[in-house]
Amino acid sequence: MIPIDIRSLKEGFQELEFAPAADTLGLEDPKMDDVLVEAQVTVDGDQIIVRVSAKATAHLTCDRTLTPFDQPIEGTYTVCFMPEAMMDEDAEDDDIQSLPSDSDEIDLTDIVRDTLMLAVPVRKIAPGAEDMDIPTTFGDTSEAEIDPRWKGLEKLRSS
């Protein structure tokens, strides 16, 4: 959990830093380590604007070669917390969230997890794998080397 105690926040700008364990964020697939979260918090009256910058090392498997590799990832996200009374009823926006009136803290866990998961590349290519040749044919298909047990199937293909 990544809580921010809103009672301790002063009016204006402040920076906070967190180093949560990846398993507390639910970052198992892909596995991540070395999570670092920097939160820039601006308190403006009843509104709290939080800009989250998250960094981690993702343990990935190359889509081309199936070899494991590590890749640093990072992402940012900005969210505004405000009292429900100030929010527009019809507006559904993930960038604006209600400020809990019965709680003294804001939880950034979901925001950080989503930011890091969105930073994972869709196409996971290990360094140097883009230049490697990928074999597209396997073995020699000459008649002399065909296993005699496959002769029956060969007849079906030729008919």
**pLDDT tens per residue, range 37-73:** 999 999 988 889 999 999 999 999 999 888 999 999 9
CA 90 to each of CA 34, 80, 87: distance values in angstroms, whole numbers, following the listed order: 39, 17, 9
Q: Tell the residue number behind the tokens 């900005």, with chain if given.
A: 78
pTM here? 0.75
In this predicted model, what pLDDT tens digit does every residue of 87-134 receive, in sequence order?
A: 776 556 778 888 877 778 898 999 999 999 999 999 998 988 878 777
